[in-house]
Structure 1
């Protein structure tokens, strides 16, 4: 079977897309992924091919510097706030225009749409070819953080379109039970399957021993608003001699205004290098705010990355994330926005380290990709007119 995947990311760093594509290819299918800005030197997994569609926004300025980390003057911050929603809509539309002819030139038996911003194009392609549509929503789109001016009319329009097109899909896949329940309640969908953002069990960094007592904690993820970065930095000030490291891609405007305190900030690293960093220090920070509905329902990749590395977590005490941490005893919890609570949770994790590390090992079979790969393959086995 030929599977066409659509995603507005570089693919190379999109671990969920790569894992799903590799799993389907490993089951005997050919998967082609159309992404955006895919690195020319990136090699996809066996049985997977990729192409890159355009997608520059009409608001993007050619040759603009990237990564300067300099704060914008007030008038440019106001312009960014006002124009950002239009910028993103423009970028999504430009990508769809570029991806459509690429997609139509290919043979495919199913269209797999990653996130709402590819759903309209995917539904059109599936309708024209008469093939099944799989809608894979990586978050509750209507509940995600929105940076920039409020756009209630656009949000309502997107929710109506998601309800219509997702309702026509042969299957809906999402990342956790919290988002799945919200989609069922909101749209009445009964065709939702959970495929978590887990990692394959085992790690190339297994040779790095866990410490007897953790020497630090690592936040591995995007360094941007609504991820409790300020709380992490403030907690680091209360933990002299304990290393706190933030590693990942950053929002330059946000980073320029951040008082980093004693925290070390590093650029993004390959997954295996993050594993080694986590194991070497001993603890993972899995944090996000509770301001947005999607945060209350989300299951961050960082949680499953920590499980793969075998390290306990210090996590924000927010709905779905807290439920999983408590269920499996994966670590300790702190009140969102409360640096003293976070520092206390880190101290507790240090004191209970052998117990928590043992709980992580026990939970790995249910929180690894081997478990979720079976769920994905089950979705594809049930698609009309297809077989595995």
Structure 2
């Protein structure tokens, strides 16, 4: 497996690796800036290429020239770091293969790993699995728009995806878009970002004591709407996650409490103690309209109902399974209304979420992934 993340907190990569180990495979992962001291699950080994992203903390406000420079140079900076990671990843993968023989499958997570994954799969004569965690061509733009770079990436993704033995993605919305964009691609399989069924079912606070957003803190996440609504949302409002430092320096949280990323067990406890989750993102980008956020499945695994932005696949899933309430994107007053509505019918919402957990569990999605690998072996 190849992934441009630190692996240690990448729940999708680790869940997929564990599922494949449980089915009898061994898994070697090459990540990016893997933390020192990280101990992978049994049957999984991990190598680290490149440096981790810069520390993301609230600091001084950037000056106007500094903001312009950051905006202009970000695509160039990211491109250089990605190219360096590709070179180091290839070298590490070849060294690993020389010691024990090449892999049976190369599993590239997201477009960032796809070019090096395709080269290794071709070199070793083995199947390539492309696991795209989002609709890459429809993702938000960070920094200066780079339309030529994005067009080159789209063409490269189309060409390399066609060489894959299978494509995996996170939800039916992204899968439909990929099938429509690339009719010549192989099978597109949906493996959701669900969480395992929990043996220790902690009681959820009811009525809710507060509302928790647990995810990345950056633009296009509706965090400004949460801040604007925070004075009128019943109970405490907690916003926790890794932050874009420049965005955070300009963010006024209102009454919401902002905290950095924390281990999963800490966030679990906060969600259960609050009794309600905020699952929000904008309606600005195609990827957001197609996405099924990890935050949704995290809350469901704990039996915690949600207030979600009524956007595309996310809003449809909340209504289909009765997971909570929805609000209009960008509308702080409607967010307050949805929070109050959830609080008023909270006990019934908790019961509906618990009833939906069997269909929205990792056990089902792990079977889909393992079945795909079985078909690759048969081929």
| Structure 2 length-normalised TM | 0.96
Indicate if the aligned counterparts of 2:109 and 2:132 stay in contact, CA closer than 8 A: yes
Mapped partners of 1:70, 1:195: distance in 2: 41
Mapped partners of 1:177, 1:313: distance in 2: 21
- Residue 15, structure 1, aligned to residue 11, structure 2: yes
- Residue 88, structure 1, aligned to residue 78, structure 2: yes
- Residue 167, structure 1, aligned to residue 162, structure 2: yes
- Residue 232, structure 1, aligned to residue 226, structure 2: yes
Shift of the alpha carbon at 1:154?
1.1
Q: Which residue in 2 is equivalent to 1:143?
A: 138
Indicate if the aligned counterparts of 1:219 and 1:245 stay in contact, CA closer than 8 A: yes
Aligned residues: 373
Q: Which residue in 1 is equivalent to 2:178?
A: 183
Q: Which residue in 2 is equivalent to 1:358?
A: 351
Shift of the alpha carbon at 1:260?
1.4
Aligned with residue 197 of structure 2, among 201, 204, 228: 201
Deviations 1:317-374 (A, max 9, x none): 0010011111000000000110000000000000111111111011101111001001
Mapped partners of 2:103, 2:38: distance in 1: 23
Q: Which residue in 2 is equivalent to 1:223?
A: 217
Deviations 1:188-224 (A, max 9, x none): 13510000001001165x33x2223111000000111
- Residue 123, structure 1, aligned to residue 123, structure 2: no
Q: Which residue in 1 is equivalent to 2:240?
A: 247
Mapped partners of 2:51, 2:86: distance in 1: 8
Deviations 1:219-242 (A, max 9, x none): 000111110001001111123x51
Mapped partners of 1:82, 1:242: distance in 2: 41
Alignment of 1:15-34 (within 5 A): 15-34=11-30
Mapped partners of 1:269, 1:203: distance in 2: 22
Consecutive unaligned residues in structure 1, runs of 5 or more: none
Mapped partners of 2:55, 2:155: distance in 1: 37
Shift of the alpha carbon at 1:68?
4.5
Shift of the alpha carbon at 1:67?
2.3
Indicate if the aligned counterparts of 1:55 and 1:93 stay in contact, CA closer than 8 A: no
RMSD: 1.4
Indicate if the aligned counterparts of 2:165 and 2:186 stay in contact, CA closer than 8 A: no
| Structure 1 length-normalised TM | 0.93
Q: Which runs of 4+ in 1 moved over 3 A?
A: none
Alignment of 1:1-388 (within 5 A): 5-55=1-51, 67-105=57-95, 106=97, 107-188=102-183, 189-202=185-198, 204=200, 206-207=201-202, 209-239=203-233, 242-384=235-377
Instruction: Give the 3 Å change call, closer, same or farther, for CA 300–65 of structure 1 in structure 2.
Output: closer
